[in-house]
Structure 1
């Protein structure tokens, strides 16, 4: 009987270890662009980052912020009278005419789909009266609504200004915030739109080659392109497979090929390696005599498809780490049914959150087996 129990213990311990040994290896993508980030648009988990908090020039990715600001603070049915200043804005346009009257929603469509700088300026003037006032209001809006910390915009279109900057991380946060709005999602994902203007009748086509289908990626549901010489090529893209929706931001690519290759590699990595896991509000986590929960609602987190560990700290932070002990995501648990907050982490080594790992478990197995052998010998005597 003792031999049977010993065999069962050995089998269980080795099964635990084998599951981890055969976990799928994570292949980190090689990104050519100067800065990049891959973020889960639902949980906010950062799945990959490269220079994601470096100060960068966004070019026309600025228009993502302008669009959600206009949608949330303006009236989409307002009729905007286009000014001389808006018409004279440099760069890509939808060929507005001075005095032309255009609904606000149509201007947002022209700005996002065709990247019209004239439409962006007309929106800013309509909402805030002047560019100076717009600069003040858009930055306040982004700080209060999105909680960005490293962004300052001086215009609505992204034409170069030394003081007009952001980061890959902030752009992902802005995009994911905007995606919560159905009007934004619809425009951001529009491939073509019939356009009738005072001096220009055409069909607007998205400039985003993956969304358009010229560079096929079936999961892509929206995107925005950008370019000025100082920023080089920039790209924001959102893709969805099953319940996993990811946003990729790549900044300062040398050419079109690089930014689309980078985006594809990021999505391939994200969809192949990660999944959602639900932490129920009824789940309890006990540490140092304290009981923690997620609060009043279930919490969705993003975890590796391969093996991962959950570890709770003394202050109630629940950390999710991969097989190498690298943190993927962290949620702050609470006592007494308070609401939870989520903090996000790229796969960065963090000694405080490292788990035992494969070799530690082998050592643990040897200790247990040694104890069992000694106990068995004593029993025989």
Structure 2
């Protein structure tokens, strides 16, 4: 009964306090932003979550997706001819002119560094012929390649549209994916760049001020429209961990930056990324053997003494010095054939668990049928006796 009550209590607390993600320190973080997420960029583990699944307007952090799509599905060496539509888009621009020819790489830099809406439209039109078609590509990309479901784009720049939405969790995953691309990482970390256009000859500076102010910050994008408030996506790295912070709908730009730095400080001060290397040593449990095929990374408190072993379910179990489970991961079982099986490899397929289950199912079915026939026969005999008497 005590165990039952404890379980019910835990379930109720989980429903009441869904924002608890990792550790007690996050209780003391007060954020202005309506939604926020902090993840380990390597493991993907959520370290902090405040309404991370709430639908929000992204504004110019949309350009993270536009940029990675252009890099992976376009060609950075292409020469793009700027259209009148690209020239006339509202908002922040790099002042492209109709008919101006610009390399795709330069446009992606103008998009990420200076938040050029005109660069976003020029990229979209070059790759797919229209903003609408490119937006469909963006939606396919984030669903099929990144694996997010709560994001939908209507344009490549992030200007307000009621259907142009995302979540903090989705943006963290999208950024995690994008930062694995070397070209994207290099552009996102650029502090300043000489811009030489037909109508604009200047030096552009990264609009994400922490990229220019903190050495540990490696990108990526800020945004604002009145409906979205101030949005900010930030990647940062120190010796112990790589982090991605997303803050959505802060009241001011300063509030978004303060929220972000509070999240980064919390992550760097309290957590670390650990790696279990795939050294191909086998893990044994009873007669079963398992192997870790690829390196496995996990997130835990800083300076943790940890150990790993295998459990009866074939999982890698990571524990601390007190034996408390930190993380689990599925291992690959090594199937060992017997001498008899090996000699019959070319004659018949080895019996699998599924085959064994099917065999037992057949046996049970036959047994049930026999019992039913026996009962029917007995009933008929009884009826026959009653008739003769």
Please say whether Structure 1 and Structure 2 have the same fold, judged by a TM-score greater than 0.5.
Answer: yes
Question: What does 1:43-58 correspond to in 2, within 5 Å?
Answer: 43-58=43-58
Farther off after superposition, 44-53 or 192-201? 44-53
Give the aligned partner of residue 232 of structure 1: 229
Cα displacement (A) at 1:173: 1.1
Give the aligned partner of residue 62 of structure 1: 62
Counterparts of 1:60 and 1:262, CA distance in 2: 18
Alignment match of 1:274 (pick from 256, 263, 271): 271
Counterparts of 1:107 and 1:222, CA distance in 2: 17
Give the aligned partner of residue 15 of structure 2: none
Question: What does 1:320-359 correspond to in 2, within 5 Å?
Answer: 330-336=328-334
Deviations 1:339-368 (A, max 9, x none): xxxxxxxxxxxxxxxxxxxxxxxxxxxxxx
Give the aligned partner of residue 249 of structure 1: 246
Alignment match of 1:260 (pick from 254, 257, 261): 257
Question: What does 1:1-381 correspond to in 2, within 5 Å?
Answer: 26-28=24-26, 29-213=29-213, 217-242=214-239, 244-281=241-278, 282=280, 290-294=288-292, 296-305=293-302, 315-318=313-316, 330-336=328-334
Counterparts of 1:187 and 1:54, CA distance in 2: 29
Change (3 A) 1:249 1:240: same
Q: Which entry has the higher C-alpha Rg, 1 or 2?
A: 2
CA contact (8 A) 2:57 2:228 kept: yes
Give the aligned partner of residue 360 of structure 2: none
Secondary structure of 1:164's counterpart equals coil
- Give the gaps of 5 or more residues in structure 2: 1-22, 336-389
Change (3 A) 1:301 1:89: same
Ranked by relative contact order (alpha carbons within 8 Å, sequence separation 6 or more), the top structure is 1
Counterparts of 1:308 and 1:161, CA distance in 2: 49
CA contact (8 A) 1:46 1:328 kept: no
Secondary structure of 2:98's counterpart equals coil
Secondary structure of 1:202's counterpart equals strand
Counterparts of 2:326 and 2:56, CA distance in 1: 25
Cα displacement (A) at 1:38: 0.9
Give the aligned partner of residue 370 of structure 1: none
Counterparts of 2:71 and 2:304, CA distance in 1: 42
Counterparts of 1:225 and 1:323, CA distance in 2: 42
Aligned pair count reads 309
Change (3 A) 1:127 1:307: same
Change (3 A) 1:170 1:280: same
CA contact (8 A) 2:42 2:273 kept: no
CA contact (8 A) 1:107 1:119 kept: yes
Secondary structure of 2:220's counterpart equals strand
Counterparts of 1:44 and 1:125, CA distance in 2: 33
Change (3 A) 1:237 1:81: same
Change (3 A) 1:266 1:202: same
With the length of structure 1 as denominator, give the TM-score of the two structures. 0.75
Secondary structure of 1:335's counterpart equals strand
Farther off after superposition, 285-294 or 237-246? 285-294
Change (3 A) 1:113 1:336: same
Counterparts of 1:133 and 1:211, CA distance in 2: 32
Change (3 A) 1:314 1:37: farther
Secondary structure of 2:195's counterpart equals strand
Counterparts of 2:182 and 2:315, CA distance in 1: 33
With the length of structure 2 as denominator, give the TM-score of the two structures. 0.73
Secondary structure of 2:171's counterpart equals helix
Deviations 1:301-339 (A, max 9, x none): 2211265877977644556688999987553333239xx
Counterparts of 1:176 and 1:110, CA distance in 2: 21
Counterparts of 1:249 and 1:266, CA distance in 2: 9
